[in-house]
Each structure stands twice: as structure tokens, then as C-alpha cells.
Structure 1
Amino acid sequence: MKKTKIAMLALFFFSQLQATVTDSIPARMEDVSSVDGIMKAVYDAISGPAGEKRNWDRMRTLFVPDARMIATGKRPNGEVVKRTMSPEEYIANSGPFLESNGFFENEIGRKTEQYGNIVHVFSTYESRKTKKDEKPFMRGINSFQLWNDGKRWWVITILWESETKDNPIPEKYIGNTN
């Protein structure tokens, strides 16, 4: 019983951490005043050369407190899998790799649909270790769900899948396809 209470308290604490951090750091208006702004800010926040610390506080300001980031893929045995995490978990798990190896993710295509205050963006990306790399080491599609609360844009969810030889990106998702 005591372990259950401690686990529940820890879960509550960590779920509130994102809300506290987001509330205490003001967002840059150029990052959250438009769909283009928030899309650029997400890619900018995770990108940078090896050895450079990322501005994770900037990234935190882009997400609602209960946002989710979901990586999907297929294991070598064919099993389709997903990994769901909060932005804080993404920063903790991926941040050290991105900072030590260098990582630049650029948008190479976008398809946007909007209804009222919600927007869905299919954002095709390519990733390089340095800006000078001729060929990307990875490409894929990020599926963003965005919401405008009447004052600014927020990221609700990012769901992504990397391109594979068995699952190439269709041409309709490369280039500006709005």
C-alpha cells in the first residue's frame, strides 16, 4: 500500500512538472503566433551541432502541459511498435544524443488542414548530423496536432514515423503541398 501511494505521488509530481515549467517560462511570440512559427520553433529547438546544448526551455513553451510525443516504427521481426512520451521524457531520453552527435532536422514538405482552432500538419522531414552533410541519414513524416487557445498556438501531439525501404515517403508529401 505504501509503495502504491509513493508511486502515485511520484506520477502526480512528474505529470505536474511540465505544467510548472511551461507556465514559468514565457513563450516567444514569434514561435506561437502562427502555425509557421510554431513549426519552425519545434525544428529549431531540436536542431544544432554536436557539442551544443539545445534550448529545451524554448521547446517546453511550445507544448500544452499534457502533450504527447509518439515515435512509431517496425522492428526487424515485423512487429509494429510505438513509444509514447511527454516532452520532458523526450528531452531526457533524446536530448543527450542530439547534443553529443549533432542533429539537424529540416522540413521538406507540409500538408496542413484546419478546422476552427485545430490544425493537423503532415510535416515531411529529413535529418542530417551537420548542416553541410549532402545526404540526410533519415527522412520521415511528423504528424502534428496543433491547437489555438485564442491567444497562441500549442502543440498537442507529435506522432512520427521514419522512412524505410519498405515504406518510402510518397511524392505528394515532399515539397509544399498545401
Structure 2
Amino acid sequence: MKKVAYLFLFCAIGFSSRAQTAKPEDVASMDAILTALYDVISGPAGEKRDWERMKSLFIPEGRLIPSGKNQQGDLVYRWWSVDEYIQTNGPALERSGFYETEIGRRVEEYGTIAHVFSTYETRRSASDKEPFMRGINSIQLLNDGKRWWIVSVMWMGENPQFPLPDKYLRK
């Protein structure tokens, strides 16, 4: 039993020494870190995003995982580090404009971990009346006693086979 406790302590020390410093207001609560996540990827066409801020929200090994079905109906997904997500999607978000807002949330929390189903709508411009996409972000969070961290974000866009259930459209 003591070996497990020492191993955990060692990992926690290693974790904190490799992590980026975040704005305290971005990680002070579960609501704050989710607001920061949506804020950092959103903005008008031509506006550079604060990718260092995004990195500071995640544990060093954090992952972003889009999932869905291809035209043949097969499950497809990607497994990106935060840097890979930024390299792959950052230019398009900045070029085209992208505003993602949370429209519903369901939270399960136990001890130092939390799981959030965060329903979103996405627009190209903040003034667009209708979203061009909706879906659910499945977000795993970790609280080290000092702040919240994003461990992973897995998402799936709404489609005719999987319309968003009413229970996920409410905060």
C-alpha cells in the first residue's frame, strides 16, 4: 500500500512540474475552465487565438478526440494532443471564424474527477441566427486541490441518425 502512495506522490510532483501556468480565473472552478475552453477557440475570421491559454487548461498529456461515422457508416475518430489539435484546426478556426457556445450541461462529479456532457452550438459569426453545427463535448476534468485541469475532450456532432436528446439541451 505504501508503494502505491509513494508512486502517486511521485507522479503528482512530475505532473505539476511539467504543466503550464494558467490564468487563475480560468481554472478556479469547473464553470470557469469550461467557459475558458469555449472562449479560447471562439473568435471572428482573421483573429489569432491564444493557443498558449488553451494549452494551460489541459494536463500535459491532454487529448482532443473528434468522433462520428463516415459515409460508409463506420465509426471514425482522431486522437490529437493539444498541440496536434492546434496545428490541425487552428488555421481553419482563425481563417473562417468560429464561435462555439454551450447550450446545455450535465455533470457527474466524484472526489477529484468530473465528467461533463457539454452540448454546443457552433456559428461562423457571433451574429449568425442559426448554428451550422451542434453536438456534445464529453469532457473529463481533474482537480488537484488547487485548480481544474482538462484531461480530454471527446466530441460528436449531431446528425440525422443521432439527433440531440432534449435532456442534453438544458443547463
* Same fold (TM > 0.5): yes
- What's the CA shift string for 1:45-84, capped at 9, x where partnerless? 0000000000111101000001111100100111111101
Match of 1:113 in 2: 108
From 156, 159, 162, give the equivalent of 1:164. 159
> How many pairs are equivalent?
155
Shift of 1:166: 1.3
**Cα displacement (A) at 1:162:** 0.2
SS in 2 for 1:81: strand
Structure 2 residue 37 is the aligned partner of structure 1 residue 39: no
Cα RMSD (Å) of the superposition?
Answer: 1.0
Distance 1:141 1:114 in 2: 18
Verify: 1:29 aligned to 2:24, yes or no. Answer: yes
Q: Among 51, 56, 69, which residue is 1:56 paired with?
A: 51
Task: Give the Cα separation in 1 of the matches to 2:63 and 2:94.
Answer: 22
SS at match of 1:155: strand
Find the residue that maps to 2:79 and give its secondary structure.
Answer: strand
In structure 2, the gaps of 5 or more residues are: 1-16
Pair 1:141 & 2:136 matched:
yes
- Tell me the percent identity: 54
- 2:114 maps to a residue whose letter is V
Give the deviation of 1:150 after TM superposition. Answer: 1.0
TM-score (norm 2): 0.89
For structure 1, the residue ranges without an aligned partner over 5 or more in a row are: 1-18
